[in-house]
Amino acid sequence: MGAAVFSYSQGGILVTQSGIPSATPTTHAHVYVDTTGLHNTGLAIANPAGTALSVSVTAFQADGSTRIGSGTVPLVPLGHAAAFAGQFIQGLPSGFAGVLDISAPQPFVALTLRSLQNSRGDFLLTTMPIADLRQTPTTSPLVFPQIADSGGYQTQIILLSTAGSSTVTVDYFGNDGAPVIVEGAEPPSPDLLEQLLKKRRGETFQLAALIGSR
């Protein structure tokens, strides 16, 4: 297990900083790609084995079925490749937002980076996890400890289906734990409130989700 923190400074001023968690090898994964506005998505793939590996990368629309393009990433033993999504898949449409399907006959490790050029021209980066299709999806509630939505910040929650169609319910709570009613949304169910109370009493839920902030 391991982790790293990287930062980018410009003119002696820290512009962006993010952490990289340890990656678990897999043979099939999905990652979210966003090239809309001033966003972009970078992808790094590494070969942990002592033999050469060929990784297939295919882009799909947000519906997960409309194919946009594909490419192949050859990796030498213990080698890696890193580039923006449009460099892995030639002809990726401008303003594309969708999913990259990554697969290989042998395990690889992968990491995604989401970039944003803000109104001041700063180049910001944040890491994002991959959706490992080999893992069994969890049905336990996922709890995000903080949602930023002021001072020029917004939070975007990104959900990827790893096993067919599914329905997701999102409930919001204030700092005091009371439900926050969002226009057009149903109030939280009593069962969810009870589960959150149990969480406070020390029970833990498995946390596995994708979240990107901009």
Per residue, the 3-state secondary structure of 126-185, as one string, reads EEECCEECCCCCCCCCCCCCCCCCCCCCCEEEECCCCCCCCCCCCCEECCCCCEECCCCC
CA distance 51 to 35: 33
Q: What is the pTM of this model?
A: 0.72
- Structural fold of domain 3-132: Hypothetical Protein Tm1070; Chain: A (2.60.290)
- Per DSSP, the three-state class of 23 is coil
Q: For 146-178, how does the pLDDT look when each residue is reduced to its tens digit (9 = 90+)?
A: 787 777 677 777 777 766 677 777 888 888 888
Pairing of strands 172-173, 179-180: antiparallel
Domain with CATH 2.60.290.11 in the chain: 3-132
pLDDT interval class at 199 (50, 70, 90): very low
Q: For 74-132, how does the pLDDT look when each residue is reduced to its tens digit (9 = 90+)?
A: 999 999 999 999 999 988 888 899 999 999 999 999 999 888 887 778 888 888 888 88
CA distance 48 to 15: 32
